[in-house]
């Protein structure tokens, strides 16, 4: 009788990629022949502290934090609790960056990062984390955001390095094109754009209108809550349809057009403003990624709007990222693995 | 054309073919900012034109034609919708009956709780953690958490080898040039 082979745990390769987003934090690492993505909703919800509530959370295996007589439910369950209590979910990040005014939320970010990234494989393991490009339509403290994350990751035992969010999309999706092309990451807090030539970012920036902005505008327009709008957007929105839509769907459809126009207008404006406007010999590939590209028909909608604009570069193809929710973390992982291989 | 855009065209038609954003937004129960945005799209599409001053729109011939056409289409669409909905409900009833007829197989309904326990979240023991460092001050803070490793885990086949190799090659090339 053949002996049963003992199960061997897959070898964990060195280097990690971390996507620090407004809605989700995702960590990517390589386990043998697979990539493991660990995702957590970047959110928390505070509830009244009592021994009973605490015991209830323990029994229900809900992730919580207890601090200064307060109980905070963290991650996916925070959303469930917010819905039950008809209250707003709290987010440690606003419009893509850690806000200096939300000091209370900082331990939450550290905990979520610690939760998804875990301990380093060895002291000083390289971890690349995503950072937004300069914002064209907002003023915020990028240095604070970056330094805070660097501090957190260093304390966990990593060697943290930054990667532009749009460039991470390029690393993840445009290897065959020699890392030349444009990566667009449509997140919930911001849209990041990066034009790269052979892995070098030529133009990188972000705008702070994105998925959350769509939800808020639609909610205000039709008198609904942003969370209900968000739920419809995530569950049933079909952007291939223009007819027979409900009021909320119709508003979502319009504001998706508006967001895409806004992003393309800013790309064109940046080209006009740039003294070193890049010249590309060949038409480029544009890759779309991020949670806000998930509604059915987003790619078609993007192409429709693009066709109406005078885009400054030849576009050979616009395509969706192979894993739209994970491409930033995956791109950061590629950068980290390449760095680790040099050690 | 979306239902909100149609509502706007109808509201303008009711006002005699010319109406301001405030009047339209009151008639359609939409915010004036949203109505203004939709009117601009409709103007771009040739369904509306500006009636002399900003914020006041009038129906064009194309807009009137669209209204006539969509009234007919809407009738047909609603009929089809009704048929689809009846078919959908019947489908569900038949599926439930089939499920009930199977011996020894109770009806199952995947709830959030089941998904949470069986699928998305790995079954890990709860470890109470107590030592945390304030990321700003760099000092220990009194905190207790019920988890160690959290989040949903998804594994996919790795396809990054090509990317890593290409990136290393590019980096090596750049370093050689710099030297």
- The β-bridge partners of A130 are A163
User: Is B31 contained in some domain?
Assistant: yes
Residue numbers in A near B154 (CB within 8 A): 36-37, 39, 326
- Percentage of chain A lying above the pLDDT 70 cut: 93
Those of residues 95-124 in B touching chain A at CB distance below 8 A are 112
Judging by DSSP bridges, how do beta strands A284-289 and A181-186 pair with one another? parallel
Last residue of a domain, one of B81, B108, B135: B108
Q: Which residues of A touch B163 (CB under 8 A)?
A: 171-172, 175, 334
**What domains can you pick out in chain A, each with its CATH number?**
13-46+80-165+326-342 (3.30.420.40), 181-320 (3.30.420.40)
More reliable by pLDDT, B120 or A324? A324
Compute the Cα dihedral for B61, B62, B63, B68 and give only its sign: positive
Residues of A in contact with B132 (CB under 8 A): 107, 110-111
Q: What pLDDT score was predicted for residue A114?
A: 86
How many structural domains compose chain B? 2
Do B83 and B1 lie in one domain? The reply is yes
Check: CB of residue A152 under 8 Å from CB of residue A92: no
Q: What is the CATH number of the domain that holds B47?
A: 1.10.10.10
* Contact present, A116 and A26 (Cβ < 8 Å): yes
User: B12 and B32 share a domain?
Assistant: yes
Chain B nearest-CA distance from A49, in A, is: 13
For residue A12, report the phi and psi dihedrals to the nearest 5 degrees: -90, 115
What average pLDDT does chain A have? 87
Asked whether residue B104 falls in the same domain as residue B23, the answer is: yes
Residue B174 maps to a domain: yes
Q: Is the pLDDT score of A342 beyond 90?
A: no
Which of B6, B47, B135, B161 is the mutation pick for testing A, counting most A CBs within 10 A? B135
pLDDT digit string, tens, across residues B21-78:
999 988 888 888 888 888 888 988 899 999 887 789 999 999 998 888 876 666 676 6
B97 and B20 both lie in a single domain: yes
Query: Of the candidates B108, B140, B164, which is a domain's last residue?
Result: B108
Query: Looking at the domain assignment, is residue B113 inside a domain?
Result: no
Give me the residue from B132, B142, B157 closest to A34, CB to CB.
Answer: B157
Report yes or no: A9 at the B interface, CB cutoff 8 Å: no
| Cβ contacts of A217 on chain B, cutoff 8 Å | 34
For residue B104, the model assigns a pLDDT of: 52
B70 and B24 within one domain: yes
**Residue A134 C-alpha, separation from nearest chain B C-alpha, in angstroms:** 23
Pick from B108, B131, B166: which residue ends a domain? Answer: B108
What pLDDT is recorded for position A60? 75
| A58-67, A227-236, B52-61 — most confident range | B52-61
In this structure, are B161 and B78 located in the same domain? no
Is there a single domain that holds both residue B101 and residue B135? no
Q: Which is it for the CA torsion A245, A249, A251, A256, positive or negative?
A: negative
In a shared domain, residues B85 and B151 = no
Residue B44 lies in a domain: yes
Q: Which residues of B touch A323 (CB under 8 A)?
A: 156
* B81 domain residue, yes or no: yes
Q: b/e map of A171-209 (b: 16 or more CB within 10 Å)?
A: bbbbbebebbbbbbbbbbbbbbbbbbbebebbbbbbbbb
Chains A & B: contacts with CB separation below 8 Å:
179
Helices in A60-206 by DSSP H: which ranges? Answer: 76-85, 106-117, 142-155, 165-173
pLDDT by residue (tens digit) across A29-60? 998 889 999 998 888 888 887 887 787 787 77
Q: Is B147 domain-assigned?
A: yes
B58 bridge partner residues = B18, B49
Q: What is the pLDDT of residues B79-107, one digit of tens each?
A: 777 777 777 777 777 776 666 666 554 44
Q: In what order do the strands lie in the sheet with A315-320?
A: A200-207, A191-197, A181-186, A284-289, A315-320
Cα–Cα separations (whole angstroms), residue B26 to A222, A334, B6, B35, B59: 12, 53, 15, 10, 18
| pLDDT for position B37 | 85
Query: Is residue B115, in this structure, part of any structural domain at all?
Result: no
CB contact under 8 A, B33 and A221: yes
Find out whether A132 and A146 touch, Cβ atoms under 8 Å. Answer: no
| Whether A38 contacts B152, CB under 8 Å | yes
CA distance A264 to A309: 8
What value, to the nearest 5°, has the Cα angle with vertex A200 and ends A198 and A204?
125
pLDDT digits (tens, 9 = 90+) for A68-113: 778 888 877 787 777 677 676 788 887 788 877 667 778 788 888 8
Q: Are residues B97 and B125 in the same domain?
A: no
pTM of the prediction?
0.74
Q: How far, in Å, CA of B25 to CA of B11, rounded?
A: 9
Same structural domain, B158 and B178:
yes
The boundaries of the domain holding residue B160 are: 120-179
Domain co-membership, B97 together with B127 = no
**Chain A CB within 8 Å of residue B34 CB:** yes
Nearest CA in chain A to B31: A221
Asked if A221 and B31 come within 8 Å (Cβ–Cβ), the reply is yes
CA–CA separation, A91 vs A211, rounded Å? 15
Query: What residues in B contact A105, CB-CB < 8 Å?
Result: none
- Whether this model's ipTM surpasses 0.85 comes out as no
Q: What are phi and psi of A9, to 5 degrees?
A: -65, 140
Asked if residue B114 is part of any domain, the answer here is no
Model pLDDT, residue A1: 47
Same domain (yes/no): B142, B67: no
Please indicate whether, in this complex, the C-beta atoms of B146 and A62 are within 8 angstroms of each other: yes
Residues of chain A with C-beta less than 8 angstroms from the C-beta of B5: 250
């Amino acid at each position: 009788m053949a002996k049963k082979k003992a199960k061997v745990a897959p070898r964990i390769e060195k280097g990690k990629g971390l996507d620090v987003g407004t809605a989700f934090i995702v960590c990517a690492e390589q386990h043998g022949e697979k990539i493991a993505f660990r995702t957590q909703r970047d959110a928390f919800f505070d509830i009244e502290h009592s021994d009973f509530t605490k015991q209830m959370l323990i029994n229900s295996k809900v992730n919580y934090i207890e601090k200064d007589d307060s109980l905070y439910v963290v991650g996916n369950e925070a959303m469930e609790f917010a819905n039950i209590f008809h209250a707003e979910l709290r987010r440690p990040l606003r419009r893509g960056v850690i806000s200096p005014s939300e000091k209370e939320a900082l331990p939450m970010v550290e905990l979520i990062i610690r939760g998804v990234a875990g301990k380093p494989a060895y002291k000083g393991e390289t971890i690349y984390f995503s950072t937004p490009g300069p914002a064209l339509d907002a003023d915020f403290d990028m240095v604070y955001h970056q330094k805070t994350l660097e501090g957190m990751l260093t304390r966990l035992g990593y060697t943290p390095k930054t990667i532009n969010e749009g460039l991470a999309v390029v690393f993840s999706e445009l290897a065959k094109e020699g890392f030349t092309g444009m990566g667009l990451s449509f997140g919930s807090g911001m849209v990041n754009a990066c034009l790269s030539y052979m892995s070098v970012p030529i133009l990188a920036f972000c705008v702070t209108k994105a998925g959350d902005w769509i939800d808020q505008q639609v909610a205000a327009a039709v008198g609904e809550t942003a969370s209900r709008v968000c739920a419809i957007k995530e569950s049933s929105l079909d952007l291939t349809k223009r007819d027979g839509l409900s009021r909320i769907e119709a508003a979502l459809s319009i504001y998706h057009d508006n967001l895409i126009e806004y992003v393309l207008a800013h790309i064109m404006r940046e080209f006009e403003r740039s003294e070193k406007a890049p010249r590309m010999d060949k038409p480029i590939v544009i890759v779309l990624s991020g949670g806000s590209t998930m509604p059915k028909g987003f790619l078609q909608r993007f192409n429709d709007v693009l066709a109406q604009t005078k885009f400054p570069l030849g576009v050979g193809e616009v395509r969706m990222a192979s894993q739209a929710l994970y491409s930033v973390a995956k791109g950061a992982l590629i950068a980290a693995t390449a760095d680790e291989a040099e050690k | 054309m979306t239902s909100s855009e149609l509502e706007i065209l109808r509201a303008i038609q009711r006002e005699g073919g010319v109406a301001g954003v405030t009047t339209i937004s009151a008639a359609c129960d939409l915010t004036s900012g949203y109505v203004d945005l939709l009117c601009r799209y409709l103007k771009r599409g040739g369904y509306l034109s500006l009636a002399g001053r900003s914020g006041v729109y009038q129906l064009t011939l194309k807009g009137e034609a669209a209204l006539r056409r969509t009234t007919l289409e809407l009738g047909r669409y609603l009929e089809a919708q009704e048929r689809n909905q009846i078919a959908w409900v019947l489908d569900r009833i038949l599926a439930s009956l089939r499920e009930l007829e199977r011996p020894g197989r109770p009806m199952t309904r995947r709830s959030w709780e089941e998904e949470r326990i069986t699928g998305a979240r790995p079954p890990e023991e709860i470890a109470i953690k107590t030592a945390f460092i304030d990321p700003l001050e760099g000092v220990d803070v009194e905190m207790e958490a019920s988890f160690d490793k959290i989040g949903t885990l998804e594994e996919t086949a790795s396809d990054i080898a090509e990317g890593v190799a290409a990136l290393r090659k590019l980096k090596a090339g750049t370093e050689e040039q710099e030297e």
